[in-house]
Structure 1
Amino acid sequence: MILIADGGSTKTHWITTDSSIDFHSEGYNPYYVDEDYIVASLSKSLPQNFNPEDVTELYFYGAGVHNEEKAAILKNAFRKIFSKAQIEIDHDLLAACRALLGNNPGFAAILGTGTNTCLYNGKDIALNIDSAAYILGDEGSGCYMGKRLLKDIIRDTVPPEIKERFNKMYHLSSHEIMDNIYTKPLANRFCAGFVKFFDNNMDNEYCRNLIRSSFTDFFQELVALYPGYQELRFNCIGSVGFYFKDILTSVAAEFGMEVGLILQSPISGLREFHAQKAHMIQE
């Protein structure tokens, strides 16, 4: 049995190449969670009809897999659950490339809880400009938008109707917001959770403008740094890019980029990729 996982910072989608097993768990970014946390969390998320010892190959594509040390956290945790599997850990950006571009070269991006971008040569990531993560960068991400909203809420600079809607939806004081960000774990996930607020309030000019300016920052601070970017199509994976596709397409046009694929998740493309790979090996 071949199991594939698309792991973001917030959630992970797991599926077998024959689609007989399909489930979700938390996201496991090794910058924010350790080995013990992963084992405990994933063990609770496994379907009742699923025996992890049946997995012979596991391909995990995850956020935060920037070096061997971080990849080892994931691999060691998964070995304790999938004890008979050959395990490969790759960056979620490679997953985006394979789902969006297949074996063709081009530009690929992730716009979800965090942000990432690259040039892909059809096989490997040829150039990646670091997003600098959620404290320093991640422009255009769900976390970036959530941080801006929360800052405006704390400073009381949002329009009155937005403040009223926010308070009605979340019942959070400024102290509670600060506590979640500065003393509790997974602050990036907390901030990104407020993307739902924007999705529910797209009739409001403040929300639309904040989303647009966040995408503008993304293009200006990251995308425009790639050589010849205007000659490439903009392809994107992630819920934030998918939910706000119309605004994202408009901002891309302002920066001279034609939009290609914008997908919510790469999982279908990854399942097909590994199913084809397995079929070729069998032949």
Structure 2
Amino acid sequence: MIVIADGGSTKTNWCLINEAGRKIHFNTEGYNPYFSDSDYIESSLKSSLPDHLEADKLTEVYYYGAGCSTDAKRKIVEDAMQRVFVNAKINIGHDLLASCRALLGDNEGFAAILGTGTNTCLYDGNDITLNIDSLGYFLGDEGSGGFMGKRILADYMKGYMPKGLRESFYDNYALTNEDILDHIYNKPLPNRFCASFSKFIYDFKENYEDYTNSVVDYGFTAFFENLVVHYPNYKNYELNCVGSVGYSFRDILSLVADRYEMGVGKIIRSPIDDLVDYHLSKK
């Protein structure tokens, strides 16, 4: 039995392929080694894996995760996985490579992640050839849920949000300015906290279209200005994208891409199905 996983900072999508070739999907929380250590990942996995999954019978694990971009960070996840899947060969890769394989397969092109965080690259059909670092939650991640969430929170706290929408925000979350600052500066996983508010603008986009569209356009414009346009000959590629933010706001993403004279290719919410197909094709 093998298991393939695509892990973002918020959620991990898993697919178990059993001895009969049946695909069994399940989810756990996301595990970013910049925010979670091996002990935490191990504990979370043991408490959230399905009861029917016999972890000791797995032979291979292919895990692609947010933050798994260096040997040291991959080791954090690998150590945790080896403690849980004791008899399996553990293969840890970056979530950006998973996106490339899901979006492009064996073809070259441009691939991006627009979810809790942001990432981009050029791919040659086998591996990533150029990656401009998005610099993460504190310094970058333009276009991500975290980036847009910070803008929403700032507008709410400063009183820039439309009055009716500001009231709806409080009705939904009952957060004071002090609560928000405490979450961001004193509590774990501030990136996930900020990114959660991208759903708020999606839920209220019809009633407050001018404001919500401006926030999303602002995020995607920053994504292009700070990342995409710095790739050589970027206009020669199509924008292929994975992630809940890119998928949910794909209409605005397409408009911004057009503004920068870049065609749009494949935009999907999650890479897991295409990623499974990729691995099965290699067996």
Match of 1:272 among 264, 270, 277: 277
Mapping for residues 216-255 of structure 1, pairs under 5 Å: 216-255=221-260
> CA separation in 2, counterparts of 1:274 and 1:44?
27
1:121-155 per-residue CA deviation (whole Å, 9 max, x = no partner) reads 11010000000101100000000000001011111
Mapping for residues 1-283 of structure 1, pairs under 5 Å: 1-17=1-17, 18-203=21-206, 204=208, 205-278=210-283
Moved beyond 4 Å, runs of 4+: none
1:16/1:271 contact within 8 Å kept: no
SS of 1:131 mapped into structure 2 = coil
> CA separation in 2, counterparts of 1:20 and 1:159?
46
Q: TM-score normalized by structure 2?
A: 0.97
> CA separation in 2, counterparts of 1:217 and 1:145?
10
1:223-248 per-residue CA deviation (whole Å, 9 max, x = no partner) reads 00000001110000000000001000
Q: CA deviation at 1:19?
A: 4.3
- Identity across the alignment (%): 52
1:13/1:25 contact within 8 Å kept: yes
SS of 1:236 mapped into structure 2 = strand
> CA separation in 2, counterparts of 1:22 and 1:230?
37
1:66/1:91 contact within 8 Å kept: yes
1:21/1:50 contact within 8 Å kept: no
Q: Which one-letter code corresponds to 1:80 in the other structure?
A: R
Q: CA deviation at 1:21?
A: 2.6
1:223-274 per-residue CA deviation (whole Å, 9 max, x = no partner) reads 0000000111000000000000100000000000010000001001111111
Cα gap change, 1:189/1:19 in structure 2, threshold over 3 Å: closer, same or farther?
Answer: farther
Q: CA deviation at 1:276?
A: 1.6
1:64/1:70 contact within 8 Å kept: yes
1:31/1:64 contact within 8 Å kept: yes
> CA separation in 1, counterparts of 2:226 and 2:135?
11
> CA separation in 2, counterparts of 1:21 and 1:56?
16
Q: CA deviation at 1:20?
A: 3.6
1:150-204 per-residue CA deviation (whole Å, 9 max, x = no partner) reads 0111111111111111011111011000000000000000000001101111121
Q: Which one-letter code corresponds to 1:4 in the other structure?
A: I
1:110/1:238 contact within 8 Å kept: yes
> CA separation in 2, counterparts of 1:235 and 1:22?
24
Flag structure 2 segments of 5+ consecutive residues without an equivalent: none
1:142/1:191 contact within 8 Å kept: yes
SS of 2:84 mapped into structure 1 = coil
> CA separation in 1, counterparts of 2:81 and 2:105?
27
Q: Which one-letter code corresponds to 2:200 in the other structure?
A: F
1:235/1:260 contact within 8 Å kept: yes
1:30/1:65 contact within 8 Å kept: yes
| Length, aligned pairs only | 278
Two-structure CA RMSD over aligned residues (Å): 0.8
SS of 1:217 mapped into structure 2 = helix
Q: Which one-letter code corresponds to 2:246 in the other structure?
A: G
Cα gap change, 1:19/1:197 in structure 2, threshold over 3 Å: closer, same or farther?
Answer: farther
